[in-house]
Structure 1
Amino acid sequence: MRTYIVEDEKPALQRLQNMLTEIPEIDIIGSTASGREAIVEIDTLQPELLLLDIHLSDMSGLDVLQLITSTPAVIFTTAYNQYAVQAFELRAVDYLLKPFSRERLQEAISRVREKKTTPEALKELFAQWQPPANYLTRFASRVGDKITMFTDDEVVYFTSESKFVYACLEEHRYLLNYTLSQLETRLDPEKFFRIHRSSIVNLNYVRKIEADSSGGYTITTLGRRPANLSVSRTAGKVLRNKLGW
C-alpha cells in the first residue's frame, strides 16, 4: 500500500516510520513536514494511504485534505481531539490520538484494507473513542459585584477579542474565563461549531451562510441584532455539509 506521511515533528515522524516498516503491506513513498509541499507531492505521487498530522507549521492538515485533488485513504494523526468531528465529516478513515500504539495503528490500517469508510462505519468508530458527554451548559460572568447567569441555548456565538473571550447573546455580551480552545472541547458539537480561529457559533442561530470574495464564507445569525461572522474556507465547507446546505 503506497503510503505518504505528513508530520512536522521529527521524533513523531521517526516513530511512525518505524512502526509502519513492521507492517508488510506498507510502502512508504515519501514524507514532509510542510503542508504546502504535501499538496504538490500527494497529487504527484498519488499515494493510496495518507497519514496526516493536523497541526503543521505552515497550514492545517484539514486544509491540505481540502486542497489535494487525489483521493487517498486518510488517517489523521494528532494530539488534539477537538478536530475529530471535522475529520470524520471529511471522510477520514480513522483518527489517531498521539501517542498511539502499534496495535492502534494496525487497527487503522486494517480499516483501510477492509474499506470501512461508509458513514455508518465512521459513526461507529467515532462513538467508540468519543468520551462520555459532559458538556458546558451553564455559564457565569462577573462584572464588579454583579454575576450574570445564562445557558448555552442563549448564546448566539462566542468570540475572542484582544485575548478576552465573550459569550454573545441577543442583547448583551459577557466576559468569560475560558479560551476558545477550551470552549471548543467542552461544548456540545451537535450544537456549536468553530467557524474561525476567533469565533464559535451556535448552529441553532445560523440564518444563512454565503461565500465571500476571499474564498471563505460569512454567516448571518438570527435574532433582533443579526451578526455577520467570518468563516474560514475549511470550516465553511464542513459547516455547509453539516447543515446540509
Structure 2
Amino acid sequence: MRVAIVDDEMLARALLRECLARHDDVEIVAECANGFEAVKAIAELEPELVFLDIQMPRLDGFEVAELIGAKTRLIFVTAYDQYALKAFECHALDYLLKPYSEQRFDQALAHARAHRVPAAAIETVLREAAARALPLARVLIRDGARVQVIPVDSIDYIEAQDDYVSIRSNGKAWLKSQRLGELETQLDAHKFLRVHRSYLLNIDCLSRIEPATRDSHVAILNDGTRIPVSKSGYQKLRLLER
C-alpha cells in the first residue's frame, strides 16, 4: 500500500513513520509538512492512502481533502475531536485522535485495507464530536498541482456557468468546478446575496440598484460592473435598505 503522511509537526510525522514501519506491505511515498506540499505530492505520486492532519498553516486538512478529490482515501489524524463529523462528511476512512495507541493505529490501517469504517466506530466518534459549520473564509481553486487561494472578502461576485462557477476577484475571473447553489451554502449569508439564479453578489461591493426595464433591475458594483437582478433578488436587496 502506497501511503503519504501530511502533518506540520515533525514529531507527529516521525510517530506515523514508526507505526507504518511495522507493516511490511506499506510504502511511504511522500511526507509533507504543509497543505500545499501535500496537494502537489498527492497529485504527482497518487498514494492509495493519506494520513492527514487537520490544523496546519496555509491550507488545513479539509482544504487539502477538497483539492485532492474524493478518489484519494483519507485517515484524519488530529488532536481535536470536534472535527470528526466534518471528517466523515469528507468520506474519511477513519479519525485518529492524538495521542493514539499502536492498537488504535493498527485498527485504523486495517479499516483502510478493508475500504470501510465500522458503523459502531463512526457512531462513537460522532456522539463525542460537535459539528462546527462556519462560513468559508477563503475559496480554493486547483489548477493542476497549483492552488489559488482567494479570500472571501476580496470576491466581488460569483457567476454560475453550468457545473462551474466564475469567481470575480481583484479584476480577475477564476473558474471553479462547483455548483453555485452548493457554494452559496458555504458562504456567509449576511455578506453574499443570491440576486439572480446565476449570480451571488458580495453586498459590500454594491454601489446602487437601477431599473433595467419596467419589470427588471440591475445592480451596479463599485467598479461599474452591471449584474442582473431578478424580481426575488430585488426584494432581498430592498430588505437590506430597511
TM-score (norm 2): 0.56
2:134 counterpart SS class = strand
Tell me: CA distance 1:219–1:62, structure 2 relative to 1, closer, same or farther (3 Å): closer
Q: Distance in 2 between matches of 1:40 and 1:5?
A: 13
Q: Distance in 2 between matches of 1:111 and 1:132?
A: 20
CA distances 1:192-226 after superposition (whole Å, capped 9, x unpaired): 732346xxxxxxxxxxxx97836694459xxxxx8
2:106 counterpart SS class = helix
Match of 2:93 in 1: 93
Superposition map of 1:32-51 within 5 A: 32-51=32-51
Q: Distance in 1 between matches of 2:18 and 2:65?
A: 24
Deviation at 1:82, TM superposition (A): 1.5
Q: Distance in 2 between matches of 1:34 and 1:219?
A: 27
Q: What one-letter code is carried by the residue in structure 1 that aligns with 2:48?
A: E
CA distances 1:165-191 after superposition (whole Å, capped 9, x unpaired): xxxxxxxxxxxxxxxxxxxx4xxx4xx
Matched, 1:28 2:32: no
Tell me: CA distance 1:48–1:73, structure 2 relative to 1, closer, same or farther (3 Å): same
Contact 1:4–1:28, Cα closer than 8 Å, also in 2: yes
RMSD (CA atoms): 3.0
Alignment length (residue pairs): 155
Mark the runs of 5 or more structure 1 residues left unpaired by the alignment: 134-184, 198-209, 221-225, 231-245
Q: Distance in 1 between matches of 2:128 and 2:39?
A: 36
Tell me: CA distance 1:104–1:94, structure 2 relative to 1, closer, same or farther (3 Å): same
Contact 1:43–1:69, Cα closer than 8 Å, also in 2: no
Tell me: CA distance 1:69–1:129, structure 2 relative to 1, closer, same or farther (3 Å): closer
CA distances 1:76-116 after superposition (whole Å, capped 9, x unpaired): 00011121111101100001010111111110111111121
Tell me: CA distance 1:79–1:132, structure 2 relative to 1, closer, same or farther (3 Å): closer
Tell me: CA distance 1:28–1:194, structure 2 relative to 1, closer, same or farther (3 Å): same
Tell me: CA distance 1:227–1:53, structure 2 relative to 1, closer, same or farther (3 Å): same
2:133 to 189, 193, 209: 193
Matched, 1:129 2:129: no
TM-score (norm 1): 0.55
Match of 2:113 in 1: 113
2:167 counterpart SS class = coil
Deviation at 1:128, TM superposition (A): 2.2
1:194 counterpart SS class = coil
Q: Distance in 2 between matches of 1:229 and 1:87?
A: 26
Contact 1:6–1:52, Cα closer than 8 Å, also in 2: yes
Deviation at 1:227, TM superposition (A): 3.7
Contact 2:84–2:126, Cα closer than 8 Å, also in 1: no
1:213 counterpart SS class = strand
Superposition map of 1:1-245 within 5 A: 1-69=1-69, 71-116=71-116, 121=118, 123-131=119-127, 185=130, 189=131, 193-196=133-136, 213=167, 217-219=183-185, 227-228=190-191
Deviation at 1:132, TM superposition (A): 5.6
Deviation at 1:130, TM superposition (A): 3.8
Q: Distance in 1 between matches of 2:25 and 2:70?
A: 21
Q: Percent of pairs identical after alignment?
A: 32
Contact 2:70–2:91, Cα closer than 8 Å, also in 1: no
Contact 1:74–1:92, Cα closer than 8 Å, also in 2: yes
